[in-house]
């Protein structure tokens, strides 16, 4: 009987077995990255959307100047003009994948840390804010009165769940670890370096290279971490620590104001990214694609004023189309806005029933 020859490249050495390799691959995180990319492609197909999905997307670290790689990146055209099919809005999804047997722990808050929607980020407009003038027939304000309104509020993004209604908000993210023995500890440094920094820096790189001309796309930037690990939130309730298992958390990260006008506010600028459990990724992507797609339609309807940064609009909290400022009032633009206005925030609040007896070492399971 002829013995089959095993080629040299198939010989495992140094005592390595197939089981060893399988365990190493499972722990590496690369299968999770591939699965996330596949789920993203599937979500695009199910929503009848074409988009480019790329793994190991390269970006430049703004601090070190070094090239780094993000696990998954997507560039998705959302709306096309009637002339020539030119894309005017795009969704860019930036994803970092992490897996762990030990949990990620989120320090939850009962409501969002600011009263204005700011996720996903919107770039490609004249700026993060619009200078809004009241209609001439309003009769309540002088013709030169204007105010600042964020682009998110101008498009009434709060009317869509992915912008305004994530199930849970958190101010800090930590990872459980065992150091120097079996005692469990929480470290914020690991999560900061492996999740927060890559997502923020890759978003900053994309913002810096994206063209911003009058005919260039308006972009929605959604940064998220997909984790295959227990996701445990903790919240203070009646003087106790309550633990909640949660599938989707919106993380906030505070930065000092830079170019954006703060109008004498001393509070920090808030940036966001989402953390989603891998088992809920398909559902999350469906919410994201539908919400951003609907908001992109509004951006197309207001394309010219978003590019100019100046518009006429009523004071309604719900969405209304913006209009170009009349020629006779354009002389008032240089006078600048007289203040900043926020649209009514209707985000969810996390509430626990008063007097509810919840043991501190019990983990309640929540979903959305």
pLDDT for 82:
39
Q: Is there a domain that residue 200 lies in?
A: yes
Q: How many CB atoms lie within 10 A of CB 43?
A: 21
The answer, yes or no, to whether residue 279 has pLDDT greater than 70, is yes
Tell how far CA 173 is from the center of its chain.
Answer: 15
User: Got the DSSP string for 168-221?
Assistant: -EEEEEEEEEE-SSS-EEEEHHHHIIIIIHHHHHHHHHHHHHS--STTSPEEEE
pLDDT for 69:
94
Q: Is there a domain that residue 22 lies in?
A: no
DSSP state of 2: P
Q: What are the pLDDT digits (tens) for 132-187?
A: 999 987 667 888 899 999 999 999 988 888 887 777 889 899 998 887 767 888 88
pLDDT for 264:
47
pLDDT for 1:
45
Tell me the whole-structure pTM to 2 decimals.
0.86
Q: Is there a domain that residue 353 lies in?
A: no
pLDDT for 84:
45
pLDDT for 41:
95
pLDDT for 263:
47
Q: Is there a domain that residue 225 lies in?
A: yes
Q: Which is nearest to 174 in space by CA: 156, 189, 162, 163? A: 189
Q: How many CA atoms lie within 13 A of 198 on its CB side?
A: 24
SS3 content of the chain, % helix, strand, coil (to 5): 30, 30, 40
Place of tokens 């992109």: 296
Q: What are the pLDDT digits (tens) for 316-347?
A: 878 999 999 999 999 999 998 888 887 765 55
Q: Which of 37-46, 160-169, 348-357 has the highest mean pLDDT?
A: 37-46
Q: Are strands 310-312 and 129-133 parallel, antiparallel or unpaired?
A: parallel
Q: How many CB atoms lie within 10 A of CB 261?
A: 14
More confident residue, 21 or 120: 120
Place of tokens 């920090």: 268
Q: Is there a domain that residue 351 lies in?
A: no
Residues in the chain: 368
| Average pLDDT value for residue range 24-40 | 82
Contacts by 342-346, CB closer than 8 A, 24 or more apart = 342/115, 342/116, 342/149, 342/150, 342/153, 343/116, 343/149, 343/153, 343/156, 343/158, 343/317, 344/158, 344/317, 345/112, 345/115, 345/116, 345/117, 345/158, 345/164, 346/158, 346/164, 346/165
The helix (run of H) or strand (run of E) holding residue 75 is strand 67-80
pLDDT for 13:
73
Q: What are the pLDDT digits (tens) for 220-245?
A: 999 999 999 999 998 877 777 888 89
pLDDT for 348:
52
pLDDT for 27:
67
The answer, yes or no, to whether residue 80 has pLDDT greater than 80, is no
pLDDT for 306:
95
Q: Is there a domain that residue 90 lies in?
A: yes
DSSP SS3 for 163: helix
Q: Is there a domain that residue 36 lies in?
A: no
Spell out where 229-348 has E strands.
231-237, 240-245, 248-255, 269-277, 310-312
Q: Which is nearest to 253 in space by CA: 274, 270, 265? A: 270
More confident residue, 8 or 123: 123
| Average pLDDT value for residue range 264-281 | 82
Q: How many domains does the chain have?
A: 1
CB–CB of 155/298 below 8 Å? yes
In which domain, by residue range, is 203 found?
42-346+358-365
User: Tokens standing for 40?
Assistant: 């993203």
At how many degrees (to 10) do helices 18-28 and 30-46 cross?
A: 60
pLDDT for 39:
96
The answer, yes or no, to whether residue 217 has pLDDT greater than 70, is yes
pLDDT for 268:
66
């Amino acid at each position: 009987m002829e013995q089959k020859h095993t080629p040299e490249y198939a010989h495992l050495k140094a005592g390595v077995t197939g089981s060893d390799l399988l365990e190493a691959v499972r722990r590496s995180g690369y299968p999770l990255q591939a699965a996330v990319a596949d789920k993203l492609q599937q979500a695009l197909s199910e929503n009848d959307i074409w988009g480019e999905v790329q793994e190991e997307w390269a970006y430049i670290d703004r601090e070190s100047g070094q090239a780094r790689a993000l696990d998954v990146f997507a560039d998705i055209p959302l709306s096309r003009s009637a002339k020539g099919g030119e894309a005017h809005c795009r969704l860019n999804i930036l994803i970092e994948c992490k897996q762990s047997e030990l949990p990620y722990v989120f320090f939850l808050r009962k409501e969002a840390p600011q009263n204005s929607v700011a996720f996903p980020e919107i770039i490609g407009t004249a700026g993060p804010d619009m200078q809004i003038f009241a209609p001439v027939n309003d009769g309540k304000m002088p013709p030169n009165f204007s105010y600042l309104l964020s682009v998110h509020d101008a498009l009434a993004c709060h009317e869509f769940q992915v912008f305004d209604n994530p199930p849970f908000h958190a101010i800090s993210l930590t990872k459980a670890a065992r150091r120097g023995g079996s005692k469990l500890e929480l470290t914020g440094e690991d999560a900061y370096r492996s999740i927060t920094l890559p997502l923020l820096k890759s978003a900053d790189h994309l913002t810096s290279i994206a063209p911003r001309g009058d005919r260039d796309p308006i972009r929605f930037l959604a940064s998220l971490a997909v984790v295959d690990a227990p996701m445990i939130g903790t919240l203070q309730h009646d003087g106790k620590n309550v633990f909640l298992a949660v599938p989707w958390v919106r993380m906030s990260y505070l930065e000092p104001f830079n170019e954006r006008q703060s109008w004498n506010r001393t509070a920090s600028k808030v940036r966001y990214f989402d953390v989603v459990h891998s088992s809920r990724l398909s559902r999350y992507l469906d919410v994201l694609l539908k919400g951003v797609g609907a908001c992109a339609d509004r951006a197309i309807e207001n394309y010219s004023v978003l590019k100019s940064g100046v518009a006429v609009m009523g004071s309604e909290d719900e969405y209304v189309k913006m209009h170009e400022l009349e020629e006779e009032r354009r002389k008032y633009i240089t006078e600048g806005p007289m203040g900043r206005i926020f649209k009514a925030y209707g985000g969810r609040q996390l509430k626990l029933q008063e007097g509810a007896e919840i043991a501190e070492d019990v983990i309640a399971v929540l979903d959305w």
